[in-house]
């Protein structure tokens, strides 16, 4: 089965002069069922880069629903070319994925509202959700979520935050890693962590875990 996750990037207007760096993670525990967001469930993982864990973000039914929407539509994942901004294939990203439509259905719209409440960024600043699937050995090498090319920056502005939502679980691997985190040396790891996870501060693949991450920080999934 591999691991499924959902990535949701948030943009700022082109003329807004501030670029933030932020990652949010959350585990659902099967309780979230509305657009209500409870800030007491948030834990700070790192300040440089900004990374947060939110417990109780998605319900099991919501995770199943997002995976069902994507399963028959997955294609090879692409990256944005640094010069042209066009989507191109690259060996740095070997997963498969697909994009949902904004407000595609009631469940998707409810999750988008919940993300807006968490990030304090309006729904219209969010890109469409991207459902991603990683099989054994697949990866996304360390990268920045913000745009390097001018084309995408002119279309919607820079990305300032990414919400990463784990939709399924695996016994080992699939971590999101921050190689430059200021707290990476304080995290103790044993044999249950993958080799990749030992290269920085790692967030494990707990069921329905959501990460809000800084677009200015390299991450590895």
**Domain residue spans in the chain?**
3-214
pLDDT tens, residue by residue, 18-53: 333 444 444 444 455 566 788 888 888 888 888 888
d(CA 216, CA 160) in angstroms, rounded, equals: 8
d(CA 99, CA 92) in angstroms, rounded, equals: 19
pLDDT value at position 1?
67
CA 137 to chain centre: 19
- How many of the other CB atoms lie within 10 Å of CB of 148? 12
Sites in the chain below the pLDDT cut of 70: 1, 12-35, 85, 152-153, 156, 205-221
pTM here is 0.80
d(CA 137, CA 126) in angstroms, rounded, equals: 30
d(CA 215, CA 162) in angstroms, rounded, equals: 7
Which of 9, 1, 24 is closest to 157 using CA atoms?
9
Side-chain-facing half-sphere of 30: CA atoms under 13 Å? 2
pLDDT value at position 69?
96
Render the burial of 2-15: b for 16+ CB within 10 Å, e for the rest: bbbbbbbbbbbeee
Per the CB < 8 A criterion, the answer to whether 211 and 54 are in contact is: no
pLDDT value at position 49?
81
pLDDT value at position 209?
57
pLDDT value at position 217?
47
Side-chain-facing half-sphere of 124: CA atoms under 13 Å? 1
Q: Does domain 3-214 have CATH number 3.40.50?
A: no
């Amino acid at each position: 089965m591999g691991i499924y996750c959902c990535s949701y990037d948030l943009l700022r207007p082109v003329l807004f002069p501030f670029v933030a760096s932020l990652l949010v993670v959350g585990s659902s525990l099967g309780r979230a069922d509305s657009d209500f967001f409870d800030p007491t469930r948030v834990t700070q993982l790192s300040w440089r880069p900004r990374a947060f864990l939110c417990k109780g973000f998605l319900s099991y039914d919501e995770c199943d629903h997002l995976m069902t929407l994507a399963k028959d539509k997955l294609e090879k994942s692409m990256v944005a070319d640094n010069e042209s901004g066009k989507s191109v294939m690259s060996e740095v990203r070997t997963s498969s994925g697909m994009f949902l439509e904004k407000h595609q259905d009631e469940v998707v719209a409810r999750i988008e509202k919940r993300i807006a409440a968490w990030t304090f960024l309006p729904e219209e600043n969010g890109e469409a959700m991207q459902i991603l699937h990683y099989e054994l050995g697949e990866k996304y090498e360390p990268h920045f979520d913000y745009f390097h090319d001018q084309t995408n920056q002119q279309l919607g502005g820079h990305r300032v935050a990414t919400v990463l939502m784990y939709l399924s679980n695996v016994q080992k691997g699939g971590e999101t890693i921050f190689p430059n985190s200021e707290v990476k040396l304080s995290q103790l790891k044993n044999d249950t962590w993958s080799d990749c996870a030992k290269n920085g501060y790692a967030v494990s693949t707990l069921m329905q875990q959501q990460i809000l991450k800084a677009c200015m920080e390299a991450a590895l999934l």
